[in-house]
Structures are given as structure tokens and as C-alpha cells.
Structure 1
Amino acid sequence: MPNMNKVDTPVKKSVNSSLLHVEYNLSDVMKKLKSMNSSQDIQNKVLNEKLINYEAKLSNLNSSLEGMIKSLNMLWEENKALKIDINLLREKISLLESTNSPIFNPISSEEIITEAQNRVLKQKNVIFYNIIETPNETLESSCKIVSDLIKDISLDLKVNSVKRLGKPHYNRIRPILVECDSIANVSKLLKNKSKLRAIKKWKKVYVNADLTYNQRIHVRNLKDELNRKRLAGEANLIIKFVKGVPTICPKN
């Protein structure tokens, strides 16, 4: 008769051994998964760093392109103004030549080129007059004065340089030459200069464009012509800058 109490121990050991083997395999799989995850994390970190680097390079490239576009626009403005000035000079020469005046002194090409170059050098400049000069005034304090004035007339302009003209004198206020960053900002300053009269601090200050000698003569002649017209009854006239050229125009 078979012994019913007999235990089949080899079978139990075999099952335990299989389970242990499975646990070892799972442990190896988990280790490999962790290793793969760690490797993937490193790769992701490297990719992210490369992406950040590419984004920084792209941002720098965009900034450079914006700077180039701004420079090209400013160059276009300068060339446009130069073309206007040259055409104006040619018209003056043609007018003088057509009068056959015995006192006519022909203008050489070199003089025209020199005048045009001087106008280009000055076209971003304005000159402020009657700004009180403080004792021991420095370049920094001059810049601060100009900055305050510009803010007081509600403008936001970039200024390249500021300097007093001439040597200090005890009974004379030296004008201030201001170089703006663009011709457009010069126009803004000149268009808003009338606001100075409404501000007590700047009431006696006035501002003009930085003109060449020939331009100053032209403006003086225009003023004489304007006075003659007003005496003749044409009271509704003023001098305006039309495309950079001073011209007698109706007020409205």
C-alpha cells in the first residue's frame, strides 16, 4: 500500500529554483532598464544643451540681422538726403549760369562734392543755444542736461554724442552740438522744438539744424525773401524744411 504521507520534496525544490531564477531575471531586466533610462537621460540632456546652444546662436543671428537692417535703413536715408542736396546744388548752378551774371563764379565739381560731404557729416546734428552752462561742467553733466531736455519735450531719442562748442568764456553761453543716431530723430527734435517755449526751464533755449556755410547763406537769403513777401502783404508764409531743404511755404 502506498505511503500517503510521503512529500515530494524534489518538485518543491524545483519550483523554488524556478521562481528564484525568474527573480534574478527580473532583477537583471530592471537593472538594464535603469541603465537604459540613465543613458536616455544623458542623451536628452546633451540634446537639450545643443538645442539651447542653437537657440542662442539663432538669437544672435537675428540680432545681427536686425542691426544690419537698421544700418541699411540709415544708409538709405543718408543717401536720399545727399541726393536731394546734390540736386539742389545743381539747380542753383543752372539758375546762376542761366542769368549770365558778370559776377557769377562757377562752382567746381570738387566744391560740390565737398559741400555734399559736409552736409552728410552734419545731417545727424542739431545745435542747442542758450542752455545755461554750469561751473566746471563735464561731458557727463552736459549729456545729462540734454537728456533731461529731450525727456521734458516728451521724446525718446538716442544721442550719439554731446559737446559744447568753443572755449569757455565768462560772459558767453557756449552752444551744445548734439549728434543723434539718425536723420529721423533730428527731424523729430526740430518738429518738437516749439514745446521748449512752454517749459519755464527751457523757455529761452532754441535749437537749429547743424548747417554748412552755404546752407546758412541760403537760409539767410530765404529769410530776406520771406520778409520782403510779408511786407508786400503775404503774411501767411513761413520757412519749412521740405525733404531736408528749407523752403518758403504757406503756414497751413
Structure 2
Amino acid sequence: MTCLPAADQSMVESEKSALDVNVEVLNPKETSLLQTALITDEGVLERDVGVLKTEISKLPVVLDELERVRTKLDALQVEVTSSKMPLASNGKSQQPPLTQSNAEASNVVLQVIIERQKRNCNLMLFNLKSESSEDPTFTADISTLLNDVCGRNIPISKASRFGKPNCNGCRPVKITLVNHGDVGFLLKNRSKFSGKKIYIESDLTPAQLEHLNKIKEELRLRRDRGEDNLFIKYINGIPSIAAKNQGQPPPPP
């Protein structure tokens, strides 16, 4: 065993004595509170690790989807270009090199797809009166609300408030569901939340939101011109204006 110089040995003993004093200062109540805090932190860490594992497990699916889209885009580009190009002397289409504009267009499409993929498990809740998203039970409270209203277990990986408050002082809430199938289920059953004055919408990308706003503006203008039988209809998740048949009940909100 290596012997420390007297000065260093004295310093080590001093630090050890100070540590012993600090430990002795903790009474049983403080020790219990410390243990509770450690257990709580451990639970939060385990939950965050679970969420991270869930998100990581989705990556192969996203990458496969992007690869399929890229392949389809390449094939579509070749098909369109071939149909527009004149035939060469040997009877075959002359294939031009990939232009910068075509490459930029492909990148824009891929970015839109990636953005929609990132949001496909998200929903927006409006007019939800509850505690701050900093509250430890915030996510659990929202999950309980969804379960009570829909009668089905709907796990949530995370929830957070953002944006500006509405006239009732409530900021929008974005929730991320564990299962993508629950997104469609909640959208189909969102009318059940009308009694609580809570509104559920998809988490739209900027491009989708811009398109929806144009559809709403067109609907408003046409109704002002007397076309009262129109409403917004979603086909494969894409909004468009449709006309109600005579005597047909209005669509759910």
C-alpha cells in the first residue's frame, strides 16, 4: 500500500470527516424525501427511455418508406421525361441528364413526406383546460381523459403545450400517441369531446395547413354567393369541397 505524505493524509481525513458530518446531519425525514426523489427520477428516466426506444423502433419503417418513395420518383421522372422527348435516329428516346430543377423538386417532395411521417402519430387538442405541461401528471391526465371519453386505452408517449392562449386562456396541446391506429380512432370519435368543449385536429404540416386554409376561404366565398349545401370532405386525408345531397344530414364537426 502506498503511503501518502502527511499533508495529503491530513487532507483526506479532513474531507472524510466532513462527509461523515453531512451524512449524520440528515434526519430520517430528509432521508425518506431523498429516497422518494431518487425513485421518482428513476421512474421518469425509465419512461423517457421507453419513449426513446419506441421512436427508434420506427426508424426502419421510415427509412424503408423513403426508399420506396425515392424509387417511385425516379421511375416517374424517367417515364415523364421519356414521354416528352423526341425519338433519336435509332428509335429510342433521348434521355437528358437530371437537371437542378428536377432534383430540387424531388427534394421538396421528400421533405414533405418526411415532415408528414414525423407528425403521423401526433394530434392537436384545443380548449383543453388542465395543469401546465410542466406538471409531472400532465401526460397521464390527458391519457385518462381520452380513455374515459372513448372507453378505450389510448397510451400517449408525450404531451406539451405551445403557441398562444385562446379566448379562454387555453394554449393548444400537442400529443404523440404510441400507436398510429389510435390517431384515426380519435379523429373518428372526436365528436364525443364536444360536450367538454374540446376539439381534436390532425397535426398538419405547413403545406397541409396552407392548403386547408385555401379550401376554407374558397368555401366561405362560395357560401357567400349562396351555395349553402357545401362542406369540407376529407378523401384519403386530403380536404376538398363537396356538396350535400338533398336531405343529407350535415357532416360531423
For normalisation by structure 1, the TM-score amounts to: 0.50
Match of 2:87 in 1: none
Give ranges in structure 1 of 5+ residues lacking alignment. 1-70, 91-104
Aligned to 1:247, what secondary structure does the other structure show? strand
Match of 1:238 in 2: 231
Q: 2:155 aligns with which of 153, 158, 181?
A: 158
Aligned residues: 157
Question: What per-residue deviation string (whole Å, max 9, x for no partner) do you get for residues 180-238 of structure 1?
Answer: 2343321111121112122xxx22x2111001111100000000111122223332222
Amino acid at match of 2:177: C
In structure 2, do the counterparts of structure 1 residues 207 and 234 end up closer, same or farther at CA, with 3 Å as the change threshold? same
Contact 1:133 1:174 in 2 (8 A): no
Asked if residue 209 in structure 1 is aligned to residue 234 in structure 2, the reply is no
Match of 2:11 in 1: none
Match of 2:108 in 1: 111
Alignment of 1:72-111 (within 5 A): 108-111=105-108
Contact 1:143 1:162 in 2 (8 A): no
Partners of 2:223 and 2:156 lie apart in 1 by 38
Q: CA RMSD for the aligned pairs?
A: 3.9
Q: 1:127 aligns with which of 103, 124, 127?
A: 124
Match of 1:222 in 2: 215
Give ranges in structure 2 of 5+ residues lacking alignment. 1-56, 77-100, 249-253
Contact 1:158 1:181 in 2 (8 A): yes
Match of 1:99 in 2: none
In structure 2, do the counterparts of structure 1 residues 175 and 121 end up closer, same or farther at CA, with 3 Å as the change threshold? same
Contact 2:233 2:241 in 1 (8 A): yes
Partners of 2:213 and 2:116 lie apart in 1 by 17
Alignment of 1:168-179 (within 5 A): 172-179=169-176
Amino acid at match of 2:157: N
Match of 2:30 in 1: none
Partners of 1:208 and 1:240 lie apart in 2 by 14
Partners of 2:123 and 2:138 lie apart in 1 by 18
Asked if residue 180 in structure 1 is aligned to residue 177 in structure 2, the reply is yes
Asked if residue 248 in structure 1 is aligned to residue 250 in structure 2, the reply is no
Larger proportion of helix = 1
Aligned to 2:137, what secondary structure does the other structure show? helix
Partners of 1:132 and 1:218 lie apart in 2 by 29
Contact 1:125 1:186 in 2 (8 A): yes
Question: What per-residue deviation string (whole Å, max 9, x for no partner) do you get for residues 17-60 of structure 1?
Answer: xxxxxxxxxxxxxxxxxxxxxxxxxxxxxxxxxxxxxxxxxxxx
In structure 2, do the counterparts of structure 1 residues 142 and 135 end up closer, same or farther at CA, with 3 Å as the change threshold? same
Alignment of 1:183-198 (within 5 A): 183-198=180-195
Partners of 2:132 and 2:181 lie apart in 1 by 33
Partners of 1:183 and 1:240 lie apart in 2 by 22
1:239 Cα deviation from its structure 2 partner: 1.6
